[in-house]
Structure 1
Amino acid sequence: MDELTAGLLESAEWRKATRSGDNGDCIEVAPLRDGRVGLRDSEHPELPAYVVSSSVWAAFIDGAKKGEFDF
């Protein structure tokens, strides 16, 4: 991870779905100042975050709303 990305993740405002409750069993997301989106495991926020472009995030959200990832 480059220094710029590390800095953006450090100052990111992480959030998770309210539906996940307080058990920490969720993925947190954060919009980054450069337009990308950070993702991390809320149970282990110390682990490296995954960063995607805004277009990848939009495609994921679209697919989730359409039920494409339902098991």
Structure 2
Amino acid sequence: MSTYNWRKSSYIGNAGNCVNVAADRDGTVRIRESDTPDVKLAASSATFGAFIRAVKADAFGGSPQTEPAGPRTPHPLKKRLT
């Protein structure tokens, strides 16, 4: 069993609820929610990089802290609940 060096964003400050990220020896990126550390996701570094670029480009419609200014077209990968 591997021991990971989990990191969190410096942007989060002292908040307890955040996402932690760690790199595995084979380059796989491990992701977990600090509230549920036993549940982990894995992604290739390329996939994780693409996700980070999409978040920075606001491809998913704004962060929970900031509402988008004005109407938005839904992202084509985002499913709508009906």
TM range (shorter): 0.7 to 0.9
Q: Is 2:14 the counterpart of 1:22? A: yes
Instruction: Provide runs of 4+ in structure 1 moved above 2 Å.
Output: none
Match of 1:65 in 2: 56
1:49 match: secondary structure: strand
Q: Which has the larger radius of gyration?
A: 2
Instruction: Give the number of the structure whose residues are more often helix, by fraction.
Output: 1
User: What 5-or-longer segments of structure 2 have no aligned partner?
Assistant: 63-82
* Amino acid aligned to 1:44: T
Distance in 2 of aligned mates of 1:63 and 1:50: 18
Distance in 2 of aligned mates of 1:70 and 1:29: 22
Distance in 2 of aligned mates of 1:30 and 1:41: 12
Q: TM-score, normalised by structure 1?
A: 0.75
- Percent identity of equivalent pairs: 35
Distance in 2 of aligned mates of 1:65 and 1:32: 24
Distance in 1 of aligned mates of 2:35 and 2:12: 12
User: What 5-or-longer segments of structure 1 have no aligned partner?
Assistant: 1-6
Q: TM-score, normalised by structure 2?
A: 0.66
